[in-house]
């Protein structure tokens, strides 16, 4: 009985190339998945940023314009008038402010491990650059476009169907015992090196975009990052409201002043109540996120996450409004903003933790035992 030849595996150059190509292919596929995933997450973060914080930025632009116009009206200085015109030009028309009626809620899409595995395998087998034939490149490009779309939607089942569809396609690599194998390995290594470099450049480019830099501040908790940004914007808006109130004639007189004006909105103490003293029939606003609300909330409270408060001001009931969050920080920012706008709002000190500790009733979103998340 003849013994199979092992000559092809004893060539040092061939063996080295096989190992280097295998290592480079693993690095390429890993980086390809990482970059595709980062692109998906940045796109989704940008959508959420626009929907949740867009109205807050628009509100700040409007307040800046009103302040500039008030300063110009008081001083009559041509430079102040120019600044007022420029500030007004920066204000977006209301119809351009998001979120819009009927616009779907932003949701975070993160492809799972199965989706990444199938995506990696399809990229390895079906990438257009694996062939030099123009017609085959076009066919592969169209197929990979469908793969990228499914991956962007985290559609694992769709990716599995695409993998089955491609399963009958021929492999372009020469067989292990083919005399063309050595030349193919050299070309493959050169191609992989180029792809890895291109992907590394693309990753750096994505990370340096404005949304990429923001997302990387807290990549595992983008929703919490948006929440923190909303708190900062609400605080800034409250300061702008106070400054505007100080400039208006009925708050600061008709004569311009070079000194800061001490008006009630600027120095009024934040209205606060402890959880035990909140009336049973009080109007409550809960500004926590959806997962916190689902875990446990006050039955009958109005739920508007902090990042949506400004855009949904018309939903707030008339009269005194008690504002809740988890421990009282976010609700304090909302109360500060509402009070500066002339609303009767009270911060519930200690938030839902204090509410629970006081033995006040709570319900959950799914019927389970309620708790404060």
pLDDT digits (tens, 9 = 90+) for 3-41: 444 444 457 878 888 899 889 888 988 888 888 888 888
pLDDT at 2 (0 to 100):
47
Give me 321's structure tokens.
Answer: 């409004």
Q: Are residues 16 and 138 in the same domain?
A: yes
Angle between helices 181-207 and 12-75 (to 10 degrees): 20
Task: Quick: pLDDT tens for 330-361.
Answer: 888 788 888 888 889 999 988 888 899 889 99
Contacting residues for 142 by C-beta, under 8 A, at least 6 apart: none
How much is the pLDDT for 58? 79
User: Is residue 238 in some structural domain?
Assistant: no
Amino acid 99: pLDDT: 45
Residues 23 and 140 in one domain: yes
Going by pLDDT thresholds of 50, 70 and 90, the confidence category of residue 180 is confident
Note the pLDDT of residue 282. Answer: 92
- Does residue 335 belong to any structural domain of this protein? yes
Residue 167 maps to a domain: yes
Q: In terms of domains, do 317 and 197 share one? A: no
Per-residue pLDDT of 294-326, as tens digits, reads: 889 999 999 998 878 887 888 999 999 999 988
CA–CA separation, 348 and 296 (whole Å)? 16
Residue 37: CB partners within 8 Å, gap ≥ 6?
A: 110, 111, 116
Q: Are residues 312 and 204 located together in one domain of the fold?
A: no
Tokens representing residue 262 in the block: 């001490």
CATH assignment of the domain containing 290: 3.40.250.10
Evaluate whether residue 136 is within a structural domain: yes
If asked whether residues 125 and 201 sit together in one domain, one would say: yes
- For 127-139, how does the pLDDT look when each residue is reduced to its tens digit (9 = 90+)? 887 777 788 888 8
Give the pLDDT confidence of 56-79 residue by residue, as tens digits: 787 788 888 888 888 888 887 888
Q: Is residue 229 part of a domain?
A: no
Residue 74 included in any domain = yes
Torsion of CA 151, 155, 160, 161, to 10 degrees: -100
Residues 277 and 185 in one domain: no
Closest CA to 329 of 307, 311, 312, 347: 347
Residue 1 domain-assigned (yes or no): no
Residue with tokens 């650059």: 129
Above 60 in pLDDT, residue 204? yes
Q: How many helices (H) and strands (E) does the chain have?
A: 13, 5
325 noted as active-site residue: yes
**Which one is catalytic: 283, 325, 340, 348?**
325
Q: Are residues 88 and 193 located together in one domain of the fold?
A: yes
Check residue 363 and give its pLDDT: 92
59 and 195 inside one domain: yes
Contacts 24+ apart (CB under 8 A), 13-16: 13/182, 14/181, 14/182, 14/185
Same-domain pairing of 165 and 279: no
Task: Compute the distance between CA of residue 338 and CA of residue 331 in angstroms, rounded to an integer.
Answer: 10
Same domain as 192, residue 127: yes
Close Cβ partners of 198 (under 8 Å, ≥ 6 residues apart): none
Domain that holds residue 21: 12-93+107-171+180-216
Looking at residue 342, what is its pLDDT?
A: 85
Express each pLDDT in 210-269 by its tens digit.
Answer: 889 988 888 888 877 887 788 788 788 878 877 877 776 554 444 444 333 333 333 346
201 with 287, same domain? no
**278 and 212 in a common domain:** no
Q: Locate all alpha helices (DSSP H) within the chain, ordered by sequence.
A: 12-75, 78-89, 113-126, 134-152, 156-166, 181-207, 210-215, 222-247, 249-252, 264-267, 290-295, 329-340, 351-357
Given pLDDT bands bounded at 50, 70 and 90, which one contains residue 205?
very high
pLDDT, position 333: 78
Answer whether residue 331 is part of any domain: yes
Q: According to the model, what pLDDT value does residue 49 have?
A: 80
* Length of the chain in terms of residues written: 373
Contact 293, 363 (CB under 8 A): no
Number of domains in the chain: 2
């Amino acid at each position: 009985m003849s013994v199979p030849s092992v000559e092809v595996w004893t060539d040092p150059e061939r063996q080295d190339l096989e190992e280097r190509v295998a290592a480079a292919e693993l690095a390429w596929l890993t980086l390809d998945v990482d970059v595709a995933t980062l692109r998906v997450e940045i796109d989704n973060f940008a959508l959420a940023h626009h929907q949740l914080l867009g109205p807050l930025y628009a509100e700040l632009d409007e307040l800046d314009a009103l302040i500039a116009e008030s300063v110009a009206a008081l001083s009559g200085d041509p430079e102040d008038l120019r600044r007022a015109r420029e500030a007004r030009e920066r204000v977006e028309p209301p119809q351009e402010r998001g979120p819009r009626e009927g616009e779907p809620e932003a949701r975070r899409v993160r492809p799972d491990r199965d989706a990444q595995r199938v995506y990696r395998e399809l990229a390895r087998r079906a990438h257009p650059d694996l062939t030099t034939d123009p017609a085959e490149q076009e066919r592969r490009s169209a197929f990979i476009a469908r793969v990228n779309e499914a991956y962007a939607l985290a559609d694992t089942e769709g990716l599995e169907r695409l993998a089955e569809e491609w399963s009958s396609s021929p492999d372009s690599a020469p067989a292990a015992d083919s005399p063309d194998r050595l030349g193919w390995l050299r070309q493959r290594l050169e191609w992989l090196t180029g792809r890895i470099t291109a992907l590394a450049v693309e990753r750096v480019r994505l990370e340096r975009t404005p949304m990429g830099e923001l997302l990387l501040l807290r990549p595992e908790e983008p929703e919490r990052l948006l929440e923190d940004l909303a708190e900062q914007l609400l605080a800034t808006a409250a300061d702008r409201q106070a400054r505007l109130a100080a400039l208006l004639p009925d708050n600061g007189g008709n004569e311009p002043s070079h000194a800061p004006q001490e008006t009630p909105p600027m120095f009024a103490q934040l209205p606060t109540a402890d959880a035990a003293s909140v009336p049973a029939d009080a109007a409550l606003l809960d500004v926590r996120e959806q997962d916190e609300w689902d875990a446990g909330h006050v039955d009958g409270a109005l739920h508007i996450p902090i990042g949506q408060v400004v855009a949904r001001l018309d939903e707030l009931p008339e009269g005194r409004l008690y504002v809740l969050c988890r421990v009282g920080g976010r609700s304090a920012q909302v109360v500060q903003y509402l009070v500066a706008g002339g609303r009767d709002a009270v911060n519930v000190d200690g938030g839902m933790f204090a509410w629970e500790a006081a033995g006040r009733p709570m319900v959950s979103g799914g019927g389970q035992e309620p708790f404060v998340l």
